[in-house]
Amino acid sequence: MKHARTGVAAFGAALSLSLLAGCGQPDDAAPAAPPAHTAHGDHAPEQPAPEQPAAPEHNDVDVMFAQGMVPHHQQALDMSRMAATNAESQQVKDLAARIEAAQGPEIAKLNGWLRDWNATGHGDHSGHAMTGMMSSDEMAALGQAKGAEFDQKFLMLMIKHHEGAVAMARTEVDKGRFPDAQQMAREIMISQQSEIDSMRTMLTQH
């Protein structure tokens, strides 16, 4: 009997120690995970910078188009501004206002491209490159005309002027490389050919 009591006491002591050890940490507590480390220490790897798209290329034809179209447009503006005071026909005045509204912003855009290309100035535009431009004498005669005479001169000279612009734009579309310049050239071909057709109709009415 003495040995039995001794065994029970020993078993009780062992059970108490086991319970005390179990109460030292909550059942649901887990050891803290070690901090994550990247291949570059504590810093996340740097992402490569996105590649910048290459600027559209241009060629000599683009430069010649812009250099030639700036003074060409400017002369059209000068002619159109005369119509506000010298024209008799409201149709002619309205046409001149449309020309001024369209070609003014185009001049600003063309000059912007020339600055980007480090190609400011008007360059050498002899021969066909500046076709349709009025001489100083023609501009002076137009400025002195009034009423129906002005309308007639304006329409005849502007048809010639527009035909020159269409020819310059066609060269840009065929041989240029700069996408925005080619798009402007296509728009010039469409809009100014339409105005040529309208002016020819107007000539038969004046």
Position 126 scores a pLDDT of: 41
Q: What is the pLDDT of residue 129?
A: 46
Query: Taking a C-beta distance cutoff of 8 angstroms, is the pair 39, 45 a contact?
Result: yes
Any idea where the domains of the chain sit in the sequence? 60-117+135-203
**Confidence (pLDDT) at 48:** 62
Residue 132: left (phi > 0), alpha (psi -120 to 50), or beta?
left
- Which pLDDT tens digits describe the chain residue by residue (206 residues)? 444 444 444 444 444 444 444 444 444 544 555 555 555 555 555 666 666 666 689 999 999 999 999 999 999 999 999 999 999 999 999 999 999 999 999 999 999 999 999 997 665 444 344 689 999 999 999 999 999 999 999 999 999 999 999 999 999 999 999 999 999 999 999 999 999 999 999 999 86
- Residue 194, CB half-sphere, CA atoms under 13 Å: how many? 8
| Rounded-to-integer distance, Cα 195 and Cα 201, Å | 10
Give the model's pLDDT for residue 131: 83
Which of 2.30.30.40, 3.40.50.720, 3.30.460.10, 1.20.1260.10 is the CATH number of 60-117+135-203? 1.20.1260.10
